[in-house]
C-alpha cells in the first residue's frame, strides 16, 4: 500500500523530490543499486512524489487563476 503524502505546497513537494533524487545518486555511489528492495522502494517513493508535485502545482495554478479571475463553472 502506498504511503500517504502529507498536504504540502508544490515547492515543498519539489524540494522533497530533489532530495529523493540525491538519495538515488548516493545509493548508486554506495553500491546500493544492487539492493533491489531498497531501490524499488526508493523508485516508488519518487514516483509518488512526482505525481504529488504535478497535482499540487496544477491545484495551485487553478487556485491562483480563480483568485485572479473567477472560479470555473461546470
In a domain, 31, yes or no: yes
Q: Look at residue 38 and tell me if it is in a domain.
A: yes
Question: Per-residue pLDDT tens for 32-71?
Answer: 999 999 999 999 999 999 999 999 999 999 989 888 887 6
Nearest-angstrom CA–CA distance, 48 and 56: 12
- Does the residue 30 lie in any domain? yes
Q: Which residue has the higher pLDDT, 73 or 64?
A: 64
Domain total of the chain: 1
Give one DSSP letter per residue of 4-58, joined into a string. Answer: PPPP--HHHHHHHHHHHHHHHHHHHHTTGGG-HHHHHHHHHHHHHHHHHHHHHHH
Confidence category of residue 18, pLDDT binned at 50, 70, 90: very high
List the domain range (segments joined by +) for residue 54.
Answer: 10-67
Per DSSP, 2 falls in state P
Domain assignment of residue 74, yes or no: no
Instruction: Assess if residue 5 is contained within a domain.
Output: no
Looking at the predicted structure, is the pLDDT value of residue 1 above 50?
no
Residue 52 located in a structural domain: yes
- Residue at 1 is within a domain: no
Question: Which of 1, 2, 58, 33 is CA-nearest to residue 49?
Answer: 2
- 73 is a domain residue: no
Amino acid at each position: 500500500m502506498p504511503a500517504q503524502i502529507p498536504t504540502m505546497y508544490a515547492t515543498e513537494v519539489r524540494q522533497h523530490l530533489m532530495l529523493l533524487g540525491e538519495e538515488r545518486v548516493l545509493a548508486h555511489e554506495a553500491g546500493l543499486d544492487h539492493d533491489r528492495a531498497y531501490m524499488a522502494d526508493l523508485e516508488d517513493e519518487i514516483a509518488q512524489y512526482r505525481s504529488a508535485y504535478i497535482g499540487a502545482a496544477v491545484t495551485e495554478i487553478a487556485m491562483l487563476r480563480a483568485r485572479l479571475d473567477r472560479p470555473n463553472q461546470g
